[in-house]
Amino acid sequence: MFSPRGHPGIETVVKTKDGATGRAMATAGLSVGEHEVKFIYDGGKRWGGMGLQKAVDNVNLIIGPKITGMDVTKQRAIDETMIKLDGTSDKSTLGGNAIASVSAAVLKTAANSLRIPLYQHIGGVNACILPVPCSGGFSGSKRYGGGPGSTGDKPSHSFVCYGFKSFSEASYAGWEVSREFRHVIARKFGDGCIIAGRPSIPAGMIDHDRELWIAMTEAIENSGYKNRVGIQVDVAAGTYFDEKRGVFSGLFSEEGKTLEDLIELYKDMVKSYPFMIFEDPLDENDYEGHALLTRELGIEIVGDDLFTTNPKRLQKGIDVGAANVMLLKPNQIGTLTEAFDAVQLAYRNGYGVMPCASRGEGEAIADYVVGLGTGHMRGGATSNRLLEIEDELGSNAKFLGKKALKVK
């Protein structure tokens, strides 16, 4: 199986005696934090070293026989069985990808066995909140050379559609403003900067992403959504950090930036443009820096590589006030039990949760969002599944708008 980005992924199918089935896939993402659980790959030349036969064998020969016969609705018991079977803190024996695919497949199978929607299985009667979605803007910094660990696809910018009465209204606004942004880019920089329907700015055309932030702001205002749509950016700043030079290299512009330079830039971004969400704006181990930004910027500071959906790392952030939102990627920690425990820890301490579907979750991420009542997510503006859920819920569907965000 493959992710939408072409990464090989392991898919697990779980079946019950009554004929219920569920399937789930786990894949790697573009930005992988050093504190995530370890995926098992085959190595060698085939699939660029990312072959998955070892992970498949671990599911079929080790995990499968151990959990066969267990009650599929007992998610925690099944997940804890796999955790003990692996025996490591980073899932390196069986592979975080193998364990994650089984855990998610079990959850889906349980919902199908109970004959209820997945979001209802997760959240019960409280599963009624549709998320503030984000829609596509632009991504990448190849035009500036990129940093030592840059994947070439970060930072990724999107539009946050919050000022609406329903998810469907926000969904339409996301589609409209993204479309207008492409038109703005084409007018400013030429039709050649739109490739396969996405903005692509070649090296040398602009000196700073500030020109693109202006274009995003224009797209919002041209669409009539000023103060109803904002900007989100997943920086993945750690991938641009050059430890030898002590600077972030090729991030937002060609010149290297010290930590102090970057913090001042973020302050100006919030002051000058409608930025509402910064994800991983500093290095993934810089808790104090993230705490400083959280105190001073008054917007959402999201920890992805900073927290890796890990309750221990999240607790460390809570202790110092680093960030105010945890990005939810279940396969960063391995099991849904551990991921959902991290969600509850976040909620108990006033942190928000922003799910992300970059690791093979597919449509299930919509059910996670509604089931957990996160109120917002990364992406989702054109999610057919969320539109279906909104229709299923009817008058019970709720959309919190700006109240769902950790912004002043």
Domain stops at, among 115, 136, 154: 115
209 and 92 together in one domain = no
260 and 397 together in one domain = yes
pLDDT reported for residue 198: 84
- Whether 2 maps to a domain, the answer reads no
pLDDT reported for residue 3: 60
CATH number at residue 367: 3.20.20.120
pLDDT reported for residue 192: 86
Q: Which amino acid is at 355?
A: P
- Pairwise CA distance, residues 182 & 188, whole Å: 10
262 and 185 together in one domain = yes
Taking each continuous run of H as one helix and of E as one strand, the counts in the chain are 13, 16
81 and 214 together in one domain = no
245 and 325 together in one domain = yes
- Whether 3 maps to a domain, the answer reads no
231 and 291 together in one domain = yes
- Whether 195 maps to a domain, the answer reads yes
Strand segments (E) across 140-200: 156-161, 194-195, 198-199
332 and 298 together in one domain = yes
- Whether 376 maps to a domain, the answer reads yes
Indicate the number of domains in the chain.
2
pLDDT reported for residue 30: 60
Burial (CB count <10 Å: 0-12, 13-18, 19+), residue 62: middle
Burial (CB count <10 Å: 0-12, 13-18, 19+), residue 168: middle
- Whether 1 maps to a domain, the answer reads no
- Whether 137 maps to a domain, the answer reads yes
Domain stops at, among 115, 132, 153: 115
151 and 99 together in one domain = no
148 and 105 together in one domain = no
- Pairwise CA distance, residues 300 & 317, whole Å: 14
pLDDT reported for residue 145: 80
357 and 281 together in one domain = yes
- Pairwise CA distance, residues 129 & 132, whole Å: 10
Find how far residue 134's CA is from the centre of its chain.
11
Do residues 358 and 329 make contact, with C-beta atoms less than 8 angstroms apart? yes
Find how far residue 263's CA is from the centre of its chain.
23
Domain stops at, among 66, 97, 115: 115
Contact partners, residue 187, CB within 8 Å, separation at least 6: none
- Whether 28 maps to a domain, the answer reads yes
Taking 70 as the pLDDT cut, the residues of the chain under it are 1-6, 29-33, 151-152, 360
What global pTM score does this model have? Answer: 0.94
Please give the structure tokens belonging to residue 328.
């939810």
Q: Is 311 helix (H, G, I), strand (E, B) or coil?
A: helix
pLDDT reported for residue 358: 77
- Whether 5 maps to a domain, the answer reads no
pLDDT reported for residue 6: 66
pLDDT reported for residue 28: 77
33 and 143 together in one domain = no
Give the residue numbers spanning the domain of 64: 10-115
CATH number at residue 72: 3.30.390.10
98 and 196 together in one domain = no
